[in-house]
Amino acid sequence: MAPLTGIRVLDFSTLLPGPLATLMLFAAGAEVVKIERPGGGDEMRSYDPKLGGESVNFALLNRGKRSVAIDLKAPGAVDRLRPLIESADVVVEQFRPGVMDRLGLGYDALRRINPKIIYCAITGYGQSGPRANEAGHDLNFIALTGMLGLAAGADGAPVLPAALVADIGGGSLPAVVNILLALRQRDATGAGCRIDVSMCDNLFAWQYWSIGNGTAAGEWPKAGAELVTGGSPRYQIYRTADGRFVAAAPLEDRFWIVFCELIGLPEALRDDARDPAATQAAVADIIARNPADHWRRKFEGRDICCNIVQDVRAALSEPHFRERGVFGRSLAAGDKRIPALPLPLDSQFRADAETEKCPPLGADTGKYIKER
């Protein structure tokens, strides 16, 4: 039996942070009932590209869930949802602070109906504080917390990250962790609770080293100049002769020594503490003399923390991931099927089928809520 078998989750969230969190709960055995507005549903349903008539982004994040379409502003909406609220274990919502209260669906209102309910609110800035009601996206959150300022391009300007770190690392993952802790606590006390997930607050854990260096030693990090942000030849991206890139991370001496030998770095430049910029320039010059395949063969089988930068298409065909079954589950829509989104759950805790579909808007309304 999967760990969350018998747990019912009401998902009022949209877009990415909440839906990814509830997808993980679903994969671990929970029943997830997605509450959507009639007509359009989750905004992500309208996104391109499409998969069998549905947004592929929506389908990836909402496979296996149930969909209930209801106008939360309509008179009697709370009463219609009451049976679901009474039977729910977890509520996940992603509105700005106060919105669910105005709808009659805030934590205090739901707790009166179901004292055991675990209520998780995911927001950009949290439920309190001067910015609580500010709009924001991932880029704003990483900018405010200092994360964006740590990485700089050749011109010194911050570089747009390829990953939505705040949405997933600051929102989805902390939501799942705290919901599981709350369920464990409820097992002991019988009481539910309210969880305040601030995507902004949760980004500081990702910057432990920069906070530690600054507060303990007064060595506040400079953009693009620290050990893992561009200030060391041992942690760099080097361009190859054919315009591809080597990701070189031989940080420890045991890796660095072998790396220097493999590429033929002059002995005088191997002590990178003397002149890091000169060593980095020399390594860049050597790597640029040969194409990526040359370096792939050179590094193959050597334990030096170096590889060739791949695009996403190549990554999906990487033999390592195939052998581990990372893309072993699939998402079906009509006559089309694509790999399902890999989730950070050990296989022993998963209950989702090998192939799942995402729910059509409102497909389960009649099953879960009262008629008018």
Domain harbouring 181, CATH code:
3.40.50.10540
Query: Cα(140)–Cα(228) distance, rounded to whole angstroms?
Result: 22
Which residues carry out catalysis?
Answer: 137, 167
Query: In one letter, which amino acid is 56?
Result: V
Are 161 and 303 within one domain? Answer: no
Q: Which of 100, 162, 170 is nearest to 141 (CA)?
A: 170
Whether the CB-CB separation of 3 and 349 falls below 8 Å is answered with yes
Q: Print pLDDT tens along the chain (372 aa).
A: 899 999 999 999 999 999 999 999 999 999 999 999 999 999 999 999 999 888 999 999 999 999 999 999 999 999 999 999 999 999 999 999 999 999 999 999 999 999 999 999 999 999 999 999 999 999 999 999 999 999 888 888 999 999 999 999 999 999 999 999 999 999 999 999 999 999 999 999 999 999 999 999 999 999 999 999 999 999 999 999 999 999 999 999 999 999 999 999 999 999 999 999 999 999 999 999 999 999 999 999 999 999 999 999 999 999 999 999 999 999 998 788 999 999 999 999 999 999 999 999 999 999 998 766
Total-model pTM: 0.95
Q: Are 356 and 331 in contact (CB under 8 A)?
A: yes
Shared domain for 265 and 361, answered yes or no, is no
Domain membership flag for residue 219: no
The answer to whether position 100 is within a domain reads yes
Q: Does some domain include residue 21?
A: yes
Number of neighbours of residue 296 by Cβ within 10 angstroms: 15
Q: How far apart are the first and last CA of the chain?
A: 37
Burial of 335 (0-12, 13-18, 19+ CB in 10 A): exposed
Residues 85 and 51 in one domain: yes
Residue given tokens 């953009």 in the structure block: 223
Q: How far apart are CA 197 and CA 97, in angstroms?
A: 11
- Give how many domains the chain has, as a whole number: 2
Cα–Cα distance measured from residue 233 to residue 127, given in angstroms and rounded to the nearest whole number: 43
Distance in angstroms (rounded) separating the CA atoms of residues 157 and 150: 10
